[in-house]
Chains A and B, each alone.
Chain A
């Protein structure tokens, strides 16, 4: 029952259509809104969205950021003449192909597990002379600026297009990070006593017109990964997985984690390794 109540709270807190959502599932909580009357109409809308989503994905402006990132990766030089050719994303110095779908992973040079975004920022600071404090000042894109590291992440991600996710779980630190990530996923706190699992830990959940993936299952865990980094239609800029994770915490009314924090790396390790074997389609488009 406790689980059911929190399900209802998820609908209540996160949707403006509070009254509609709360009334219908009240009789029998699970399966929630999916079985409710308006579902049919919503599915029609979903089909219409998907049809034109394909049109939009055919020419995704994410490619503009991919091109910019490629230019930085291949041509930009740091103050000592270093370049990203020296950056090891886990498959050897300068190897980009397939690297994105094999992170987070353990990096011996820093003695810790890093996710793709964290590793790329690390390399841009180390080799290209970017200042970490500058990057932290604006880690995510906004209306007026998509930061360089976001473009590089987009490029690296695109180089894993149509490849299978294969996050290593060999090094003890990789295994430990996965375990911590799972704990964070289930950790309930904040003013609404939420965890990631409240919305993403069981089947058949829905917010408004969107059905929510159960991220404990490989075939659904991919949905948290697919399409990131994503070109956001509203505003027209790129957003990364780190941004998405932070936004989940914001929606749960948690304090937002610091950029590139260990907790996000751990969550991404848990969620991505759970999706191992699924195919990543490259940078996407998000509403």
Chain B
């Protein structure tokens, strides 16, 4: 299973065909990919557990991870977060919300020219730090930003 995933990501000759097969529904993504959903990391109930699940336990602090997110979110149901890594050879980015029931929100692997940058919108149950992990050349790096979540208000 991992072998297929790596083949896909390396962009080897066969990649196009496999991707096309997925797109055409010949090769079911549910078989090829969804089974690999990192259950240990996503179902961890605290930050340490999620980091462990990601294999990023000893991540080093980095100023080269840029997190764009509001200081105060208008609504915790939709918090826009844009993360980018300026660390050379960044292969993946993970986004975690420390105080959510399950901190790991999303994990992305980049390949074939994709820049290590992604915009997502997250649910936040309460004011919390957002931690971002970037992996490059087998090493993990981390940065954090606090987002305050407000409540209440009228219908607009």
**In the complex, are the beta carbons of A48 and B71 less than 8 A apart?**
yes
Q: Report the interface size for chain A: residues with CB under 8 A from the other chain.
A: 26
Identify which of A52, A208, A230 gathers the most chain B CB atoms within 10 Å of its CB. Answer: A52
A230 vs B78: C-alpha distance when bound (angstroms): 14
A244 vs B154: C-alpha distance when bound (angstroms): 10
Identify which of residues 57-79 in chain B touch chain A, using a CB-to-CB cut-off of 8 Å.
70-75, 77-78
Enumerate chain A residues within 8 angstroms of B53, measured Cβ to Cβ.
Answer: none
**In the complex, are the beta carbons of A251 and B80 less than 8 A apart?**
no
A55 vs B73: C-alpha distance when bound (angstroms): 12
B156 part of interface (Cβ distance < 8 Å) = yes
Total A-B residue pairs with C-beta atoms closer than 8 Å? 51
A251 vs B77: C-alpha distance when bound (angstroms): 23
A78 vs B82: C-alpha distance when bound (angstroms): 45
**In the complex, are the beta carbons of B74 and A287 less than 8 A apart?**
yes
Chain A: minimal CB distance from B81 (Å): 10
Enumerate chain B residues within 8 angstroms of A49, measured Cβ to Cβ.
Answer: 70, 72, 74
**In the complex, are the beta carbons of A233 and B77 less than 8 A apart?**
yes
Enumerate chain A residues within 8 angstroms of B82, measured Cβ to Cβ.
Answer: 55
A40 part of interface (Cβ distance < 8 Å) = no
Chain B: minimal CB distance from A136 (Å): 21
A210 part of interface (Cβ distance < 8 Å) = yes
**In the complex, are the beta carbons of A234 and B75 less than 8 A apart?**
yes
Chain B minimum-CB-distance residue to A246: B155
Chain A: minimal CB distance from B78 (Å): 4
Q: Of A16, A52, A208, A239, which one neighbours B74 at CB under 8 angstroms?
A: A52
**In the complex, are the beta carbons of A210 and B78 less than 8 A apart?**
no
Enumerate chain A residues within 8 angstroms of B74, measured Cβ to Cβ.
Answer: 49, 52-53, 233, 287
**In the complex, are the beta carbons of B77 and A236 less than 8 A apart?**
yes
B152 part of interface (Cβ distance < 8 Å) = yes
**In the complex, are the beta carbons of B80 and A286 less than 8 A apart?**
no
Chain B: minimal CB distance from A231 (Å): 9
**In the complex, are the beta carbons of A48 and B78 less than 8 A apart?**
no
Chain A: minimal CB distance from B124 (Å): 12
A227 with B77, Cβ < 8 A, contacts A48-B72, A52-B70 known:
no
10 A-B pairs besides A55-B82, A233-B77 with CB distance below 8 A are: A51-B70, A207-B154, A209-B153, A210-B153, A230-B156, A233-B74, A244-B156, A247-B155, A286-B155, A287-B75
Which B residues lie at the A interface, using CB under 8 A?
70-75, 77-78, 80, 82, 121, 150, 152-156
Of all A-B residue pairs in the complex, the 9 with the closest CB atoms, nearest first, are A286-B156, A233-B78, A233-B75, A49-B74, A52-B70, A287-B75, A55-B80, A233-B77, A247-B155
